[in-house]
Amino acid sequence: MKNFLLDSFYDLKFRISFNSLHNSKLELLWNILPIFCLSLIAGPSFMLLYLIEDFSSIMYIVKVVGNQWYWTYEFLDYNSTNKLDLVSFDSVMLSESDLIAQNYGFRLLEVNNRLKIMYLVNTCFLVTSTDVLHSWAVPSLGLKTDACPGRINRIAVWPSRQGVFYGQCSEICGINHAYMPIVCVVQ
């Protein structure tokens, strides 16, 4: 008998509190409003994610290989007889004596062979490594991707300004990782 009365009291109390606080329109609004806001945010975000991964309009491809402790660049180029040739060169940091002899450049950031890319041309970089993890980063161009052995990462850029852009390996890839500078010249 006691449990029956207690259950009836709680049932009555629940009904009174439920009816006084229940508002279907308000519940519908606070469930639909966040869904609507998230949909407004998701639409443009999905479009940007798609455009980041769209490599259909690439006009120039450069393969970047991280070695211990320098970068190798490979790309296809037309020679004077309109034949396709594979151009490959290493980019190694210049020593202080070389910098003094050349009379230009920044210490620990200048290389013997600069990478030249074209102004207002979509360029794709295929980045990989031969030994350990490296990070090919040129922050002023908005480029940063990891160079992993056995894997090719790709990143695209559309350089909208001309100049000389400096970068470095930003991965702690070993004892000399601070001596792997990157110099991109946009012309």
pLDDT at 113 over 60: yes
Q: Same structural domain for residues 48 and 75?
A: no
Q: Are strands 123-129 and 153-157 parallel, antiparallel or unpaired?
A: antiparallel
Q: Which pLDDT score is estimated for 77?
A: 79
The structural domain count of the chain equals 2
Record the pTM: 0.73
pLDDT at 44 over 70: yes
Q: Which pLDDT score is estimated for 136?
A: 94
Residue 3: which pLDDT band, with cuts at 50, 70 and 90? low
What residues pair up with 126 in beta bridges, in sequence order?
63, 154
Q: Among 13, 32, 52, where does a domain finish? A: 52
Q: Which pLDDT score is estimated for 176?
A: 82
pLDDT, the chain, mean:
85
Q: Same structural domain for residues 73 and 36?
A: no
Please tell me the distance from the alpha carbon of residue 18 to that of residue 12, in angstroms, as a whole number: 10
